[in-house]
Amino acid sequence: MTAEQKAATAATSSTAAKPTPEQGTEWIICRVCGYIEEAKYRDQPCPTCGFPPTVWMDYKPRRINPTREKLLDLHLHPIAVHFPIAATAASFLVPVIALLIPSIANVLFSAITLVAMILPLLVIIGGISGYIGSILRYKTGKSKIPKAKIYLTIIYFILSCVQAYIAIADGVNADNAWIMIILGIVASIFAAKLGKMGSYLFAGRFSPYTAG
């Protein structure tokens, strides 16, 4: 089997070996994408990003508590934050569509009213999962970036509460649609900023593992 065939097999395999400190196995990591492989494949291209063998560097896995590892493997925060982000985007996109297409406005306004009502709950779930993820991954939630994310999340939550209040008090309609649109756009900016900061926490400033 050629090096290219081995690389393709490794890239499509769903049962890739997981690096452990035991048994003296040596590991390497791709400096471009962060893919981890056994050191015996050092002379082959990275099977995930396709870069030449020169991207490999030695990697030593850390010991980790099995319970903590299982919780990290659940990836709770990346999953949880999809819901408030989607709801926030809908909170300004749907009213815009409703204003542009009056024939379906009533249905769209009713739908986004329901979404806005539960948006604060979704933001809380996303924020709590992020704090728990920070504790699990970095053993702290009080360093510079996690603290900044907490402050931004509080602002994001307040914006979602204002949207929820409008939805509960009057329902989203043609009279307050532009207020919802503006709030939704501002909230989406905060959500995007939170996501960008989270990507730095998860993957580093320029790539998953930056070296040289």
- Residue 112: closest CA among 82, 85, 91, 89: 91
In this predicted structure, what is the pLDDT of residue 20? Answer: 55
CB atoms within 10 A of CB 4: 12
pLDDT band of residue 18 (cuts 50, 70, 90) is: low
Q: What is the dihedral of CA 62, 66, 71, 75, to 10 degrees?
A: 40
In this predicted structure, what is the pLDDT of residue 21? Answer: 52
In this predicted structure, what is the pLDDT of residue 19? Answer: 54
Cβ-based burial of 6 (10 A; exposed 0-12, middle 13-18, buried ≥19) = middle
In this predicted structure, what is the pLDDT of residue 61? Answer: 75
pLDDT band of residue 93 (cuts 50, 70, 90) is: very high
- Residue 167: closest CA among 94, 102, 110: 110
In this predicted structure, what is the pLDDT of residue 14? Answer: 39
pLDDT band of residue 198 (cuts 50, 70, 90) is: confident
Whether 47 has a pLDDT exceeding 60, the answer reads: yes
pLDDT band of residue 26 (cuts 50, 70, 90) is: confident
- Per mean pLDDT, which range of 16-20, 72-76, 149-153, 206-210 is the poorest? 206-210
Whether 150 has a pLDDT exceeding 80, the answer reads: yes
Provide CB contacts within 8 A for 24, sequence distance 6+: none
